[in-house]
Amino acid sequence: MGTPTGRPGRSILAAVAFLVSFSLLLLVVCYRFLIPAISAATATTLPAHRRELRALSTLMLALLLVALVLGLILTFPLARMLFPRRTSPRARTQYPDAWTESGRRLKLPEEDQRTEDV
């Protein structure tokens, strides 16, 4: 059917595209940075190196969280939900009386034709 604005499924497509792209970004960061960082943290013996890896991993996950929030704001405009547009007052529909309307539309035969039929 579509939405009243004439853009069927626009927000659904935007949501799916956002979720797919964010999932791909998360997978790339996990496989390229976080998993090697975990294996390096278990292999190192120095506490300073572990703190550095932990700080870098926390920073990377914080950046991903910021990207997620900004992506959500860009995908789903908050102004539409928080500040809806003003609408004009709705007009009440006038329902005419059906019998009065049918009597007004009725076409009666002329007077001389009615007397011949009787």
Phi, psi dihedral angles at 105 (to 5 degrees): -85, -15
- pLDDT score of 9: 60
CA 57 – CA 50 distance, rounded (Å) = 10
Q: Within the chain, which residues score under 70 in pLDDT? A: 1-11, 78-81, 112-118
Query: What angle do helix axes 47-75 and 35-43 make, rounded to 10 degrees?
Result: 170
Q: Quick one: DSSP state of residue 52?
A: H
Is 113 domain-assigned? no
- Where do the H-state alpha helices sit in 76-110? 78-82, 98-105
Residue 96 lies in a domain: no
**Domain count of the fold of the chain:** 1
**What does the pLDDT read at residue 2?**
47
Output the pLDDT for position 55: 87
pLDDT for the residue 89: 87
pLDDT of the residue at 21: 86
Is residue 111 situated within a structural domain? no
d(CA 26, CA 2): 32
pLDDT score recorded for residue 5 = 54
Look at residue 118 in the predicted model and tell me its pLDDT. 57
pLDDT of residue 33: 82
Return the pLDDT at 1. Answer: 47
Structure tokens at 96: 């005419």
Which domain range does residue 55 map to? 12-84
